[in-house]
Chain A
Amino acid sequence: MEEIKTGVYICHCGLNIAGTVDVEEVARYAGTLPNVVVARDYRYMCSDPGQALIKDDIKNLGLNRVVVASCSPRMHEPTFRRACQDAGLNPYLYEQANIREHCSWVHDDRQIATEKAKDLVRAAVRRVFYNEPLEIKERPLNPNVLVVGGGIAGIQAALDIANGEHRVYLVEKDPSIGGHMAQLDRTFPTLDCSECILTPKMTEVGQHPFITLLAYSEIEEVLGSVGNFKVRVRKKARYVDEEKCTGCGVCEEKCPWKVDSEFEMGLGKRGVIYIPFAQAIPNVATIDKERCAYFLKGKCRACEKFCDASAIDFEQEDEIVELEVGSIILTTGYDLFDAGRITQYGYGRYDNVLTGLEFERMTCAGGPTGGKIFLKDGRQPESVAIIHCVGSRDENYHEYCSRVCCMYALKYAHLIKELTKAEVYQMYIDMRCFGEGFEEFYRRVCDEGVNFIRGKVAKVTDVALTEGEQGKLIAIAEDTLLGEIVRVPVDMVILCPALEARSDAENVAKLFTINRRADGFFMEKHVKLDPVATATDGVFIAGCCEGPKDIPDTVAQASAAAAKALSVISRGRIVIEPTIAEVNEALCQACGRCEEICDFHAPKVISKDGVRVSSVDAALCKGCGACAVVCPTGAMSIRHSTREQINGMVEALLEV
């Protein structure tokens, strides 16, 4: 082993250190420590002449370790590491003793402070003895991006990246992109038509030369790490040749079997072979295999007979597509809370209790009722109650606020007033109208004569107590402003269900090795300062999969995630920090505890030449050291925070 030659430099920092610590005494003492060949003190080590002292000594005295005792390493460690590097010494062979923040600034007594400074210098000299040269590595990256989920968030992110002329694979599990936004009628508070602003973007996705759209497809496996992910996608069989299908819709017309349309929230019907909605992208038909008479009973094939393009293919099979991408954006959206779970609201039991999304389809001009508001019996309602916070802000279901319901409830009130003569009752806990133009819209709806009752609805019932309640649904609540129980008889009740995490969010989180919050939504890396990144480098999140939000926030977040993905791409390579976990394979027993404890999924037990050992993915490891603590054999260690380095410091600090 080469002889260790350490240079120690004690900084005066003007009088900041020298005023309290006898720096000359510390330098003299440092010169007596093992392996120290030179020890100097200087007024300002961070100054150019100060750094020159170090560089000259490295060159002239052949130093292979350097210690500076000065301010906090959080301040000038990069400065002195660079000085070492400039003189040809690996920057990780440098160590800093913090004798300013942790010593001269917090103690008065010169003798005590000087003794402490000596201890800190001794510990740094001991630690640097065990330091090893480390290399920052780089590896090439794949510039392609995978976007998972084709709602407005995924559409926006895909377009932002593709417009930068990078390849985007957009994977959507449903037959068409568009997501929930395609189902909405008008958007608050501007009341512009949702489809009108969404469909041009959908068309752009469909035609973009840099976007490969994989609709009706699901992710099966994700391997690798930032810069180099390998993704396996199952493209489900539509039993229709996408290349041949013209989207004419004749097959759906001729299909003798009609079922409830998911897009129309069950208010309308679709064929068993169907195009989910008129502006679907891709505009091709899909056979619902579970309900197709041919697949169930072996005969029918009506669609095949009428298809001029000969696009129907009953023999079609699922196709496996392997993708290679460098970063991933998850925009998997939300589910709506099942309003039937709150049985006292009578959803599913009373005909005229609807959810918000069902009502959206009703008011949509292109929807199943042609934009007319009807009760089940065909009458127009004379009174409507809108119940807020169904499953939100409720400790029995979700404690969080779903953020969009107050505003769309106001929109419904406005539309009901516009389309009917009905009385409208908003039954709310608090009105939360915080966005651009929201408060103004709230005022406008107030002025339109909508009734606001501040109280959480306890129950919806059809048991009338008075003549006026006969044949009505009665929403019962405590009006907390009046302090009394109110009974509001209405013809129609609209429930505003919570936005909740997708039912498959747990599986998706596992697939992409990201974490979820207690509320089930995907967790960001830092709630304030890194809101679209995740614990896994190169995997970003945007839109409602991260938590309930409205369209403007979703689009902003999608663009933020796109910018993050683009910043990974534009660097052109992946930089791998050297201060991460390392496995001593000779000691490893492949117990897998490292794999269990790691939040970043960096260590994995693999089979290497027939021997099972743990292996660390350098691009995933953050160097936190949890794996080294639980490793029972000492096989796992963290570079630059090794047992020798830390125990060495502890020993040096206590041995006098």
Chain B
Amino acid sequence: MAEFEPKIIAFACNWCTYAAADIAGTSRIHYPANVRIVRVMCSGMVDPIYVLKAFEMGADGVLVAGCHGIDCHYLNGPVKCDAMFEKLKRVVNTLGLEDERLRREMISTSESPIFAQVIEEMVEQLKKVGPSPFKVKMEALA
């Protein structure tokens, strides 16, 4: 059987992390192809519904990444994102999902190596944790 390849959805803010991923491309910094990036205007725009939708659809991991506080294009987006994220983490735990599946990062435009590193770490950790229990259940039902 082929090795388990986790699927990761990364919500990336347009001004920082999405740009960092762009620069990772320009600089040819390679990272695992397990991640799919969804562009949002601000990390503070990430509705918990989006994250829960990703898990519902069988994502093995979700990354919410945006600017550091001081870089925010909208002043305080990261602070709002953090507040949302704290609540979301509890919900995700309640659902029986492991801590490793949900990650919050602040990655500025200049930190493309960090973006690549975060994806590598997540893939490695998720390979250890295994497929999302939701996906396993869905596949069993199908």
Does any Cβ of B come within 8 Å of A52's Cβ? no
Contacts of A53 in B (CB 8 A): none
| Cα–Cα, bound, A647→B9 (Å) | 12
Instruction: Identify which of A94-102, A270-278, A327-335, A466-474 touches chain B.
Output: A94-102
- A628, B47: Cβ atoms under 8 Å? yes
| Selected contact of A625 from candidates B25, B45, B57, B76, CB within 8 Å | B45
Contact B33–A626 (Cβ < 8 Å): no
Among the 9-residue stretches A57-65, A112-120, A261-269, the one with 4 or more Cβ atoms under 8 Å from chain B is A112-120
Chain B residues closer than 8 Å to A119, beta-carbon distance: 36
Cross-chain contact A628 with B45 (CB below 8 angstroms): yes
Write the nearest CB–CB distance from B24 to chain A, whole angstroms. 6
By the criterion of a CB under 8 Å from any partner CB, how many residues of chain B are at the interface?
44
In the bound complex, do residue B28 and residue A106 qualify as a contact, i.e. CB atoms below 8 Å apart? yes
Tell me the chain B residues, 4-50 only, with Cβ under 8 Å from chain A.
7, 9, 14, 18-19, 21-26, 28-31, 33, 36-42, 44-50
Q: Does A109 contact B (CB under 8 A)?
A: yes
Taking CB atoms, residues of chain B closer than 8 Å to A650 are: 9, 38, 50, 53-54, 57, 59
Decide: A647 near B50, CB < 8 A? Known: A623-B41, A629-B80.
yes
Chain B residue numbers with a CB within 8 Å of A628 are 45, 47
A626 and B22 form a contact (CB under 8 A): no
| Chain B residue at minimal CB-CB distance from A597 | B80
Q: Are the CB atoms of B14 and A646 closer together than 8 Å?
A: no
Given the contacts A102-B21, A106-B24, A626 and B36 also touching, CB distance less than 8 Å: no
Contacts known (A112-B33, A650-B54, A654-B58); A624 close to B42, Cβ less than 8 A: yes
Please, which residues of chain B bring their CB within 8 A of the CB of A624?
41-42, 44-45, 73-74, 77
Interface residues of A in 133-160 (CB under 8 A from B): none
Chain B nearest CB, measured from A83 CB (Å): 20
Measured between beta carbons, the chain B residues less than 8 angstroms from A641 are: 40-41, 45
B142 an interface residue at 8 Å Cβ cutoff?
no
- Closest residue of B by beta carbon distance from A16: B25
Q: Which residues of A contact B28 (CB under 8 A)?
A: 105-106
Check if A643 sits within 8 Å of B47, measured CB to CB: yes
- A651 at the B interface (CB under 8 A): yes
Q: Does B84 contact A (CB under 8 A)?
A: yes
Contact B45 A651 (CB under 8 A): no
Q: CA of A625 to CA of B46 in the docked complex: distance in angstroms?
A: 8
Q: List residues of B (54-93) whose CB comes within 8 Å of A's CBs.
A: 54, 57-59, 70, 73-77, 80, 84
Known pairs A628-B47, A646-B38, A654-B58; A74 contacts B74 (CB<8 A): no
Once A72-B22, A74-B14, A654-B54 are accepted as A-B contacts, the answer to whether A123 and B36 lie under 8 Å apart by CB is: yes
A107 touches B (CB below 8 Å)? yes
List A contacts of B50 (CB < 8 A).
643, 646-647, 650
List, in ascending order, chain B residues with CB within 8 A of A100's CB.
25
Whether B42 contacts A626 by the Cβ 8 Å rule is yes
A22 CB to nearest chain B CB (Å):
14
A515 within 8 Å of B (CB atoms)? yes
Contacts of A123 in B (CB 8 A): 36, 38
- The CA of A625 and the CA of B40, in the complex, are separated in Å by 9
Tell me, yes or no, whether A50 is within 8 Å of chain B by CB.
no
Known: A105-B25, A535-B75, A654-B7. A625 touches B42 (CB 8 A): yes
Q: In the bound complex, do residue B77 and residue A626 qualify as a contact, i.e. CB atoms below 8 Å apart?
A: yes
A599 in the interface (beta carbon within 8 A): yes
Asked whether A519 is an interface residue with its Cβ less than 8 Å from the other chain, the reply is: no
B80 touches A102 (CB 8 A): no
B44 touches A625 (CB 8 A): yes
Cα separation A638 to B45 with both chains bound (whole Å)? 9
Cβ-closest chain A residue relative to B72: A624
A124 vs B56: C-alpha distance when bound (angstroms): 20
Q: Which residues of A contact B49 (CB under 8 A)?
A: 643, 647
What's the minimum C-beta distance from B128 to chain A, rounded to whole angstroms? 21
User: Which single residue of chain A is at the shortest CB-CB distance from B77?
Assistant: A624
A653 near B25 (CB under 8 angstroms)? no
Give the distance in Å from the alpha carbon of A641 to the alpha carbon of B77 in the complex.
15
With A101-B22, A623-B41 already in contact, the answer to whether A629 and B47 are too (CB < 8 A) is yes
Interface assignment of A549: CB less than 8 Å from any CB of chain B: no
Inter-chain contacts of B53 with A (CB < 8 A): 647, 650-651
* A102, B36: Cα distance in complex, Å: 8
Q: Which residue of B lies closest to A624 (CB)?
A: B74
Residues of B contacting A626 with CB < 8 Å? 42, 44-45, 74, 77, 80
**Residue contact A653 to B44, C-beta cutoff 8 Å:** no
Q: Establish whether residues B33 and A653, one from each chain, have CB atoms under 8 Å apart when the complex forms.
A: no
Picked from A103, A112, A599, A649, the residue with its CB within 8 Å of the CB of B75 is A599
Question: What B residues does A643 contact at CB under 8 A?
Answer: 47, 49-50
Roughly how many angstroms separate A116 CA and B49 CA in the complex, as a whole number? 24
Report how far A450 CA is from B49 CA in the complex, Å. 69
B58 to chain A: which residues have CB within 8 Å?
Answer: 654
Give Cα distance in the complex from A624 to B40, angstroms.
9
CB-CB contacts of A631-644 with B at 8 A, as 1s and 0s? 00000001001010
Which chain A residue shows the least CB distance to B46?
A629
Q: Does A655 contact B (CB under 8 A)?
A: yes
B73 contacts which chain A residues (CB < 8 A)?
622, 624
Tell me the smallest distance from the CB of A177 to a CB of chain B, in Å: 33
Chain B residues, Cβ within 8 Å of A515: 75
Q: Does A73 contact B (CB under 8 A)?
A: yes
Is A108 close to B, CB under 8 A?
yes
CB atoms of A106 and B25 under 8 A apart: yes
- A105 to B112: give the CA distance in the assembly, Å: 13
Q: In whole angstroms, how far apart are the Cα atoms of A8 and B26 in the complex?
A: 24
Take A599-B74, A622-B74 as given contacts and tell me if A649 and B38 are in contact as well, using a CB distance cutoff of 8 Å: yes
Cα A116 to Cα B10 with chains together (Å): 14
- Verify B36–A73 contact, CB threshold 8 A: no
Q: Which residue of A lies closest to B84 (CB)?
A: A629
B47 to chain A, nearest CB (A): 5
Measured between beta carbons, the chain B residues less than 8 angstroms from A106 are 24-25, 28-31, 33, 116
In whole angstroms, what is the CA distance A106 to B28 when docked?
6
In the complex with contacts A74-B18, A74-B22, A102-B37 CB distance below 8 A:
yes
Enumerate chain B residues within 8 angstroms of A651, measured Cβ to Cβ: 53, 57
Q: Can you list, as one digit per residue, whether each of B91-120 has a CB less than 8 Å from chain A (1) or not (0)?
A: 000000000000000000000000010000
CB contacts under 8 Å to B, within A593-621, are: 597, 599-600
In the A-B complex, the 8 residue pairs with the smallest Cβ-Cβ separation, listed nearest first, are A101-B25, A625-B45, A624-B74, A654-B57, A105-B25, A101-B22, A624-B42, A626-B44
A-B contact pairs, 15 of them (CB 8 A): A74-B18, A102-B37, A106-B24, A116-B36, A515-B75, A599-B76, A622-B74, A623-B41, A625-B45, A629-B46, A638-B41, A646-B38, A646-B50, A650-B57, A654-B9
Chain A residues close to B by CB (< 8 Å): 72-75, 98, 100-103, 105-109, 112-113, 115-116, 119-120, 123, 515, 527, 535, 579, 597, 599-600, 622-626, 628-629, 638, 641, 643, 646-647, 649-651, 653-655
- Since A75-B22, A647-B53 are in contact, a sample of 7 more A-B pairs with Cβ atoms closer than 8 Å, ordered by chain A residue number, is A106-B116, A116-B36, A535-B75, A622-B74, A625-B40, A626-B45, A655-B57
